[in-house]
Copies of this chain bind each other. A is one copy, B any other.
Amino acid sequence: MGKDKKKSKESRTPFRDALRAGPGTQLADIDPRSTPGFSGDKADGQEALADLAEPVSDLQERLFAEATAGGERSVLLVVQGMDTSGKGGIMRHVVGAVDPQGVDITSFKAPTAEERKHPFLWRIRNALPTAGRIGVFDRSHYEDVLIVRVHDLVPRAQWARRYGQITTFEKGLVDKGTTVIKVMLHISKEEQKERLTERLDRPDKHWKFNPTDIDERGHWEDYQEAYQAVIDRTSTDAAPWYVVPADRKWFARLAVMQLLKEHLEELDPQWPKADFDVAAEQKRLKKS
C-alpha cells in the first residue's frame, strides 16, 4: 500500500479547527462515536498515530533545546473526561510516545488536607511545566467546577466564581509563554457502561474499578451540564477547549496527538545557536 495513495484517501483537516469548542458548541449535539477531521478507519487511525510519534518527538526535543538557551515557552495539556473516557490511554499511548525527559504528568486526585488549606489553584500552580517542558494534567482545576459543582462540595457562590478565576489564571499562563491545550474526552453513557462492564469482567481490571463509579453514573446528566458550563464559560481565545469524541479510543488518541503536533508546529521551536566557537572546540576535541 503506497504512502501517497494512503494520504490522499484520508482527508485530515487541522484538528484544531475540527474539534475546537466555539460559542455555539453543545456537547449534546456531538456524537461520541464521530471522528471529526479524520475520514479513515481504525487501522488508518492507528497508522496515523504511529506516524506522528517521530515528528512530535522532534518538535518536543526542539522545545526542550530552546529552553536550554533561555527560551521560556512551554506547553500544558489538560485532559478531562468522565470515568473510563480514556484519560489513562492518552497518558500511555500519546504522552508515552514522547521522550519522558521532557514531559511531566500530574494526576490530580481528591485534594489532600494540605491542599484544602489553600485556594483551589494552589496545587495547580505548583505543577505547571517549566520552560521547555510539556506538562500534562490528568484531571485538573476543572474538577473544582465539575465534581465540586455536581456534589455541592463548596457553596454555589464559591464555585460560580471559579470560572472567572480560571480564565484569568489561564490567560496569565498564556501571556507568560505557556501554550494551553484543553481536551475534553467526550464519551457516551452506553460506552461507559461497556467499559465498566469490562473492568468488572476481567480480574486484571478490578483494581481500576471503584463502586462509586456506578454511583457517579447516576449523576450523568448533572456532569454533562457541568461540562457544558465549563465549555460555555472557559473556552477562551487564549485557551480554548477541544471536544474529542472518545467512544473510539483510537480516534481520541490520534486526535490528542495531532492537537499536540499542531500546537507545537505553531510554536515552531528552533535548535539554539551554539554559544561557543564550534571550530575552536573541534580543534580542541581532536587533541584531547
Contact = CB atoms under 8 A, between A and B. Distances in A.
A271 B203 contact: yes
A269 B211 CA distance: 24
Interface string A202-221: 01101101110010011000
Interface in A87-101: 88, 91-92, 95-96, 99-101
B65 A88 contact: no
A266 interface: no
A107 B64 CA distance: 14
A218 B91 CA distance: 43
A65 B207 contact: yes
A233 interface: no
A270 to B, nearest CB: 10
Given A271-B206, A281-B211, A95 B100 contact: yes
A281 B99 contact: no
Interface residues of A, number: 41
B278 A206 contact: yes
A174 interface: no
Nearest to A207: B65
Contacts of A204: 271
Given A206-B273, A207-B271, A207-B272, A196 B92 contact: no
A8 interface: no
Given A103-B100, A285-B214, A207 B91 contact: no
Contacts of A206: 271-274, 278
Contacts of A96: 96, 99-100
Interface in A226-282: 271-274, 276, 278, 281-282
Given A193-B288, A217-B288, A200 B282 contact: yes
Nearest to A201: B282
A153 interface: no
Contact of A281 (B209, B278, B281): B209
A97 to B, nearest CB: 8
Nearest to A196: B285
Interface in A160-196: 193, 196
Contacts of A284: 211, 214
A68 interface: yes
Interface of A: 65, 68-69, 88, 91-92, 95-96, 99-101, 103, 105, 107, 138, 193, 196-197, 200-201, 203-204, 206-207, 209-211, 214, 217-218, 271-274, 276, 278, 281-282, 284-285, 288
Given A200-B278, A206-B273, 6 more contacts: A68-B207, A91-B99, A92-B100, A200-B281, A209-B276, A210-B276
